[in-house]
Amino acid sequence: MSRVAVVTGGTRGIGQAICLALKAQGRTVVANYAGNEEKAHAFTAETGIPTYRFDVGDHEATIKGCAQIAAEVGEIDIVVNNAGITRDGVLHKMSFDDWNEVMRINLGGCFNMAKATFPGMRERGWGRIVNIGSINGQAGQYGQVNYAAAKSGIHGFTKALAQEGAKYGVTVNAIAPGYIDTDMVAAVPAPVLEKIVAKIPVGRLGHAEEIARGVAFLTADEGGFVTGSTMSLNGGQHMY
């Protein structure tokens, strides 16, 4: 029986590409989504991948959602924490809600999904968790104190949980994408986007499929010696 993989925010953009890559790898894939039922139904019709709706920033909803997946699909062996939102603005204009929602979903979602699945992985002696961070969590970004803080927190979360999981056969890694040609980036005004691309040494935006290949590598059965790492996929924009 193939291992069950859950991808949060999995019905579009990077999440969709990850779902397809894991399915091609032979995993039994489930996509989580937060609210767009029309998009979720279209995604399932197109890919054959089932979707489950719950807010990963809601602790109880996440515990129940993962329990439902385990009962209906199978015990969860692979988790990709991809779900995330932005509420950009400079600090003096940023509301507490703007801060709190980004932290609740982007960082809190990683905690909630781990609480729901890590104990089972540990008991079974095998698991893969991949957290999607960001170049802006590594380098910072003007107007994103909330997003940068949450994504930076993901990198610390990854290293700490990796230490807990290592002796149980559970690896925990992160991927820090640069600017990828998703709907989120497409919403950036053209003049701003041109300036961003000009700072990327390879001279282009990344593709969602390139992030998905990184996830497939980190979640592979043969990937047990890679843990606590952050894979930077950013076209050379930020190196350290």
In angstroms, the CA 80 to CA 216 distance is 10
CB atoms within 10 A of CB 60: 10
Tokens 């399915």: give the residue.
Answer: 23
Give pTM, 2 decimals: 0.95
| 3-class secondary-structure state, position 19 | helix
**Arithmetic mean of pLDDT, 173-201:** 89
Please write the tens of the pLDDT for every residue from 48-57. 999 999 999 9
User: How many helices (H) and strands (E) in the chain?
Assistant: 10, 7
Active-site residue 147, yes or no?
yes
The whole-number average pLDDT for the span 61-85 is 97
Q: How far is the C-alpha of 63 from the C-alpha of 113, rounded, in Å?
A: 7
Q: Average pLDDT in the 6-26 region?
A: 97
Give SS3 for 220. coil
* Kind plus residue range of the DSSP H or E element containing 227: none
3-state secondary structure of 144: coil
Considering 147, 168, 179, 240, which one is annotated as catalytic? 147
- Answer yes or no: is pLDDT of 1 > 70: no
Identify the CA nearest to 47 among candidates 21, 73, 72. Answer: 21
4-233 CATH: 3.40.50.720
Tokens of 202: 């390879």
Q: Are 219 and 5 in contact (CB under 8 A)?
A: yes
pLDDT value at position 238? Answer: 86
pLDDT for residue 213: 98
The CA distance from 96 to 146, in Å, is: 10
- The SS3 call for residue 23 is helix
The predicted-structure confidence for 134-149, as pLDDT tens digits, reads as follows 887 787 787 789 989 9
Q: Tell me the pLDDT of the chain averaged across its residues.
A: 94
Report whether pLDDT(132) > 80: yes
CB atoms within 10 A of CB 124: 13
